[in-house]
Structure 1
Amino acid sequence: MTEIKPMPEKSKGPVRLRRSQVDHSTTDQRLLDARGPSDWVHTDPWRVLRIQAEFVEGFGSLAELGPAIAVFGSARTKPEHPHYAQAEEAGRKLAEADFAVITGGGPGTMEAANKGASQAGGVSIGLGIELPFETGLNAWVDKGINFRYFFARKTMFVKYSQGFIALPGGIGTLDELFELLTLVQTGKKTQFPVVLIGVAFWSGLLDWLRETVLADGKISPKDLDLIMLTDDVDEAVAVMVEARRLREAEGDEES
């Protein structure tokens, strides 16, 4: 019997490409790469319209989302791994606490969180991104938006999430985590809870921040107070619920 190989495919914003139509670069890459002294004159101004369209689509799709929590983590986490079960539990319990769950829409940890939220009857959101090789949005995303540009996608995460839970992950997870902390530290975003699930995985990073970065005066003690570390999904969800209660209480006082 002839083996049937999976066909190559990828998303470019709302466009789906398969087989010979798949290219192996990304829109972000083409934007940021230099192509000669004057090529940008003929291309970059038009990209502004495409960038604008991504923001309009994202804002229009998520404006009425309601309270939501972003869940980050590795796309490489296998379904049989304990981190997958933790992410699924987090998605389920966030949905049961009346939060929408937002992920990057991919496999692994993202799939698990979307699955937990969807199966619990919650709102399961996936914000996908064009990559050279990708699997598309996972099957548990109930509302998905595909982006060409990382910065547009990241804006949607920050704008529509009231808190962030990060499970063990790689460079993408670290990028998202440190960008969030930078936004709070610099006052670009009012403070929101950031919880790391996985004491064994994250402790080395936090120890380095404390013993090297803080000790050398590169950050202040309050910067580390932005992060909570736990192995308990219930504790992570409770932090999000309490933060929502405080926001609502502040809103009542202002009104």
Structure 2
Amino acid sequence: MEEPRREQRHEQAREQRREHRQGQAIVRGRFVPTSTHDQRLLARQGPSDWVHTDPWRVLRIQAEFVEGFGQLAELPPAVTVFGSARTPEDSPDYRTGMRLGRALAEAGYAVITGGGPGVMESVNRGAREVDGAVSVGLGIELPFEQRMNDYVDLGVEFRYFFVRKTMFVKYSCGFITLPGGFGTLDELFEALTLVQTRKVTSFPVVLMGSEFWGGMLDWIKGSLLGTGKIAADDLDLITVTDDVDEAVRIIVDADLARSRQLVEEEEACAAQIAEPQ
């Protein structure tokens, strides 16, 4: 009886000592696979559930970043505009969106929206009225159908919200937010967090519609600032206006200030290099 048990223990020890290199990893014991990656890759048939695994999702995420960067890298200076997909065409917000899109395009900016209907459509539509303007839509896969609006010159669809948000920030020099719902609020506070934590700098965030945003700002001042959850100068990150021309002017002024800062930094660097050692 003791002999089979001893042999069983030896077998378990041998199993635990088994070692296999798997890319950058070393696996031992029961984690050692019974086939190689090449064998599984070249197998003619087999289960397809691997396309739903996390490693495969990472590759899809990487592909979305590569596609987004590739499509948007040559955009001119751009401004991202957020707002509700549920805004009807005959509403004041839709008309404001059209005026804003046109004004941004006339100021030389590409406009970027979420590519959907409502406010997004109105901004893309307004930009398209200007010769040579660039109208961009960054769409998102949703459980319900939402097609890219007809006023987008360049449309890119994303599976993942966080990839899409990266594109909004990376290729914009400012955000303008019109009235909207949960998605608009999510994008707004994401932008404010990035500016507050200085992940992005010289990045204006403009809210259009003082009546719509007034209650939220009162809450921010009373509940957040009033209880020390934010600092007083955090309120300076937000500008509220009802004037399209003022919203565009805020973007232009911040853009010029950023350009001057870059020139000053380059000149200071050049002067430091030129100093005799």
Q: Confirm or deny a common fold (TM above 0.5).
A: yes
Partner residue of 2:141? 130
Alignment of 1:187 onto 2:201: no
Partner residue of 1:171? 182
Partner residue of 1:58? 68
Indicate the SS of the match to 1:76: coil
Match of 2:231 among 179, 202, 220: 220
Match of 1:244 among 255, 262, 269: 255
Partner residue of 1:14? none
Q: Which structure's relative contact order is higher, taking Cα pairs within 8 Å and 6+ residues apart?
A: 1
Provide the rounded CA distance (Å) in 2 between the counterparts of 1:70 and 1:173.
Answer: 12
Match of 2:126 among 88, 107, 116: 116
Structure 1, unmatched stretches of 5+, are 1-38
- Deviation at 1:135? 2.4
Match of 1:92 among 74, 90, 102: 102
Provide the rounded CA distance (Å) in 2 between the counterparts of 1:218 and 1:163.
Answer: 25
Decide whether the 8 Å contact of 2:50 with 2:56 is kept in 1: no
Alignment of 1:81 onto 2:81: no
Partner residue of 2:154? 143
Work out the percentage of aligned pairs sharing the same amino acid: 66
Partner residue of 1:206? 217
The structure where helix makes up a greater share of residues is 2
Provide the rounded CA distance (Å) in 1 between the counterparts of 2:52 and 2:117.
Answer: 37
Choose 1 or 2 for highest CA Rg: 2
Provide the rounded CA distance (Å) in 2 between the counterparts of 1:42 and 1:61.
Answer: 26
- Deviation at 1:68? 0.4
- Deviation at 1:188? 1.7
Alignment of 1:101 onto 2:111: yes
RMSD between aligned residues: 1.4
Q: Which amino acid aligns with 1:89?
A: R
Provide the rounded CA distance (Å) in 1 between the counterparts of 2:245 and 2:201.
Answer: 24
Partner residue of 1:18? none
- Deviation at 1:186? 1.6
Partner residue of 1:67? 77
Q: Deviations over 1:82-116 (max 9, x none)?
A: 00000110000000000000000000000000001
Partner residue of 1:12? none
Q: Which amino acid aligns with 1:202?
A: W
Q: Which amino acid aligns with 1:65?
A: L
- Deviation at 1:252? 2.1
Partner residue of 1:24? none
Q: Deviations over 1:139-173 (max 9, x none)?
A: 00000000000010000001111001000000000
Q: Which amino acid aligns with 2:187?
A: E
Identify if the C-alpha distance between structure 1 residues 78 and 41 changes in structure 2 by more than 3 Å, giving closer, same or farther. closer
- Deviation at 1:41? 11
Runs of 4+ in 1 over 4 A off after TM superposition: 39-42
Decide whether the 8 Å contact of 2:61 with 2:160 is kept in 1: yes
Q: Deviations over 1:173-221 (max 9, x none)?
A: 0000001111111222223101100010001000100011110111111
